[in-house]
Amino acid sequence: MREARDALILNGLLAAGGWAAFQYLHAPMLGLAVLALVVAFNLLLPLFARSSGHGHWLDLWWFLLPLSIFQVVPDWVLSQLIGILSFPDLGAPRIGGHVPVYMAGMWVIPLFWVLLIARGSTMLAGVLALAVFAASEWAAPLFGIWRPRNVSTHYGIADYVLLPEALLGWATAFAYREVGGAGIAMRIAAAAAVSVFYTGALVVSYFLIQRAAF
């Protein structure tokens, strides 16, 4: 119960800050506010872990942060190489001129919840990821964070993206279970492998569903 309370407090602070930002700010200040919120979450998470005695939170963060940074690659592939994802300009700096820099840390937020609740179960992590990311894909266009382009959608969610995102949850839980306690080099390598796997799953799913009409 205490762990759930602390996690809800942390994410409640993020949600309150996000609500205020989207309620009162516009580009370019909105993009900078989103960046500040993502940075704040990634600073507060390890601080909460240390102060509250949730040592496994720190282990999760050390694994998820490099994974989130690597996730810039699939974002860039989808937006620039294939052209099926766009990131409206909210005012934040961009990596390579295309992917907003806050995306490099944003993936920590949903994946932290997925792994925290899944408790090592890869199947549960896949189901949770499907639910969490489906909600994110639905909400993101409403707030102008990202939106699908030139693909079939249902309720604003691209059809091709759901299975790869469930696989992302499964792969993340599996990799963390295998190397979560290993050295930093092994954890970074595993995080990179998960991101490469996810990128491939996205591309294959897109071509099967969108191009081949599978």
pLDDT tens across the length of the chain (214 residues) = 677 777 788 888 888 999 999 999 999 999 999 999 999 999 999 888 887 777 788 899 999 999 999 999 999 999 999 999 999 999 999 998 889 999 999 999 999 999 999 998 999 999 999 999 999 999 999 999 999 999 999 988 999 999 999 999 999 999 999 997 778 899 999 999 999 999 999 999 999 998 786 6
CA distance linking residue 167 with residue 15, whole number of Å: 26
CA distance linking residue 142 with residue 140, whole number of Å: 5
pLDDT of the residue at 214: 63
pLDDT of the residue at 53: 75
Predicted TM-score (pTM) of the model is: 0.94
pLDDT of the residue at 185: 92
pLDDT of the residue at 97: 82
Bridge partners (DSSP) listed for residue 147: 86
